[in-house]
Structure 1
Amino acid sequence: MREIVFDTETTGLDPNQGDRIVEIGCIELVNRCETGNTFHAYFNPQMAMPSIAEQIHGLSDAFLADKPLFEDVVEDLLDFIGDDPLIAHNAMFDYGFLNAELGGCGRLHLQRSRIVDTLAISKTRHPGAKHSLDALCTRYGIDRSHRVQHGALLDAQLLAQVYVELTGGRQIGLDMAGPEPIRPAVAALMPSSPVSGRRPRPHRPSEGDIVRHRAFVATLTDPVWASGDDWVAAEVVQ
């Protein structure tokens, strides 16, 4: 099972208002393990970088000036992500920006069914808790000490670890009493054959049990359910 964890950095919050992607980072997972294959690129947005956005990710106009346009790299990006599920945190944000950039290049939009939102998973798994990427790293003991500013590839690498923990950790299937699997990929990794258990033990009362029960019932004063000794005996052996 191949999946792609990704993150983007942008000039702002709304592609419909002209904001653009300036960085994308993608991590390849196969059977929920990082393969080491990544895709990472910076883009020249052909617009001035708002100061508030630069404070978040540190990408300046000067740094991005000689970077390729999104349309120059789109083939490599599409080749890397293929047709596999795409995992992101607050995924509809990144999804909207990706589709806006793809549409600007005359490419087909990504299908919504491919998108997996770890923010939604976190809200289901941990209601009432904090759901930021930093908070989830803290919850799962993932080292984020090197995350001084947002960066698409770094955030995707952290999110890949968070995603594995959110969907059951490395040891999938050990928590048999836990919630239903979030992803079909998790169910696909479960054992296909039932686990052998011990043979069922008989639970019928022994003759001694019946005698002791009758003796106990005899000590009760006018029990409302009693209708004779035959009923008592029949009730005990059922």
Structure 2
Amino acid sequence: MNLIIFDLETTGLLPSQHEIIQIAAMKVQNGRWDAGEYFDSYVRPENHIPSFITKLTGITQAQVADAPSPVDVLMQFSRFVGQNATLIAHNGLRFDMRFIAENCMRHGIPVRETSALDSRSFSRKIWGGKGGHGLDAVLSRLGLSSEGVKRHDARGDVQLLAEAVKQMWTRLTPSFKDCPVDLSVGVIPALA
């Protein structure tokens, strides 16, 4: 099974009102967890980044001023994803996939369906209703440290999430051929 572990940083929480400012992703092919195939890009928003987002993410207006447009980055991301990959993000179905779908609609980008899942599904299957399923709670349960990794920067969060998904997946099944949680459907830009 080919997986894309990814994360977005945005100017706020509402896909209909806010913009993507960073995308990072890592490819996992046939169970090979290798950060060698990696994607990351800042995205130039149409509006200014709110100060509280800069405080949270560390992403400044200067860093995105000369970044590629949302259309360019989303198309590059779609090419990186390729065909027949499953996208995984933490809170991905409610947040990341909705931001991608909304940005595609906002910018008139044709879309294609892709399988997707929320990595919180692994956590719920392993730990049930205990103690929440945010990324920090999952990292703590797995004994994974975020020391030396910048949290709320898509690049750092992807590294942490990839290790968390790997550990949770192998707790549920030793094989990376079949997904141990239910898949959903999301959309990303159609390939030309």
Shift of 1:171: 7.6
**SS of residue in 1 equivalent to 2:138:** helix
**SS of residue in 1 equivalent to 2:24:** strand
Two-structure CA RMSD over aligned residues (Å): 2.2
Shift of 1:68: 1.4
The gaps in structure 1 that reach 5 residues or longer are 174-179, 185-238
Shift of 1:169: 4.6
Aligned to 1:41: 41
Query: 1: CA distance between counterparts of 2:182 and 2:163?
Result: 16
Q: In proportion to residue count, which structure has more strand?
A: 2
Q: How many positions carry a matched residue from both structures? A: 176
Larger Rg: 1
TM (norm. structure 2) is 0.82
Query: 1: CA distance between counterparts of 2:136 and 2:112?
Result: 28
Aligned to 1:130: 132
Aligned to 1:140: 142
Aligned to 1:236: none
Cα gap change, 1:43 to 1:86, in 2 (>3 Å):
same
Query: 1 or 2 for the larger relative contact order (CA 8 Å, sep ≥6)?
Result: 2
Q: Residue 7 of structure 2 contacts residue 154 of structure 2 at CA under 8 Å; is this kept in 1?
A: yes
Q: Residue 150 of structure 2 contacts residue 157 of structure 2 at CA under 8 Å; is this kept in 1?
A: no
Query: 2: CA distance between counterparts of 1:146 and 1:122?
Result: 24
Structure 1 segment 69-218 matched on structure 2, within 5 A: 69-83=69-83, 84-92=85-93, 93-111=95-113, 114-127=115-128, 128-169=130-171, 172=174, 181-182=180-181
Query: 2: CA distance between counterparts of 1:156 and 1:147?
Result: 10
**SS of residue in 2 equivalent to 1:168:** helix
The gaps in structure 2 that reach 5 residues or longer are 184-192
Shift of 1:110: 4.9
Q: Residue 122 of structure 1 contacts residue 131 of structure 1 at CA under 8 Å; is this kept in 2?
A: yes
Query: 2: CA distance between counterparts of 1:63 and 1:100?
Result: 23
Q: In proportion to residue count, which structure has more helix?
A: 1
Query: 1: CA distance between counterparts of 2:20 and 2:29?
Result: 26
Shift of 1:28: 0.4
Q: Residue 99 of structure 1 contacts residue 110 of structure 1 at CA under 8 Å; is this kept in 2?
A: no
Aligned to 2:29: 30
Letter in 2 for 1:139: R
Query: 2: CA distance between counterparts of 1:55 and 1:16?
Result: 22
TM (norm. structure 1) is 0.67
Q: Residue 90 of structure 1 contacts residue 120 of structure 1 at CA under 8 Å; is this kept in 2?
A: no
